[in-house]
Amino acid sequence: MAVPRTERRRRGRLDMRLQGRAALVTGGSSGIGAAIAEELAAQGASVTISYFKNPGGARSVVERIEQLGRQAIDVRADVRRKADVEELFRRHLERFGRLDILVNNAGDMVQRMPTTETPETVWRDALDLNLSSVFFCCQEALPRMTAQGWGRIINISSVGARTGGGPGAIPYHAAKAGVIALTRGLAKEVAAHQITVNAITPGIIETPFHARHTTPAQRAEWIQSLVPLGRPGRPEEVANLVAFVASDEAGYITGATLDINGGMAMY
């Protein structure tokens, strides 16, 4: 069984595979993003997290990272807006001077509704938040990573990009499928600079995301009928995978889509 990061810290056994690296995690104030930011820090990285609506959560994540003896800052940014993304990266570089790891985690379903009832605003919001934000952040990251001759870009997609997802969420899953295509194309474009680009597709993970968009009864039914392991995933399990993909050990993995879904979709 994996040892929780707090217990590793108590025992003096923090991993150091990311020592000296600087990471930026979008949507890092709660759920999967918060777990990713904390795990990258536990493995030695300095971390910037972006948030939009949850300053208290962002501040709590920064404080937990600082308790590990690492450096962290939080920056409010609407990553749907290129100007906000530019300011986010400026703030990161002002503090840490380099960018080694970018985790494009920010995203949301926006709203569940049938396709015929989905207004243009919901469609565009879902694409901008889940896909345009990834593109804008990659645009900002690449010049820095190219100059260094090293970089890791990790894009958080969704199992729904593989399967079409649950009811009433076509804009979200279409955008997440776009993230996979963007990942593969970009991986080819930047491979010569020793920059890897990979996507991760979580399944049903216990986060505020599911609490907002799925009833407990629906979650229980889906887990029972769709997940062979018979349980939801934990944010820390996704974070552990991200930390590995961000490390030197994963240097020969690029353009990949890595599933973490308890067997919900097997390929």
Would you call 202 helix, strand, or coil by DSSP? strand
Q: Burial level of 4, CB count in 10 A (0-12/13-18/19+)?
A: exposed
Question: Would the CA dihedral through 17, 23, 29, 33 be positive or negative?
Answer: negative
C-alpha angle 93-94-100 in degrees, rounded to nearest 5: 20
C-alpha angle 129-134-136 in degrees, rounded to nearest 5: 100
Maximum distance among all Cα pairs of the chain, rounded to whole angstroms: 56
Residue labelled with tokens 């759920």: 31
Q: How far is CA 155 from the centre of its chain?
A: 6
HSE-up of residue 27 (Cα within 13 Å, Cβ side): 21
Catalytic residue chosen out of the listed positions 51, 172, 252, 267 = 172
Rounded to the nearest 5°, which phi and psi values hold at 13? -120, 35
Residue 252 designated active-site:
no
Active-site positions read: 172
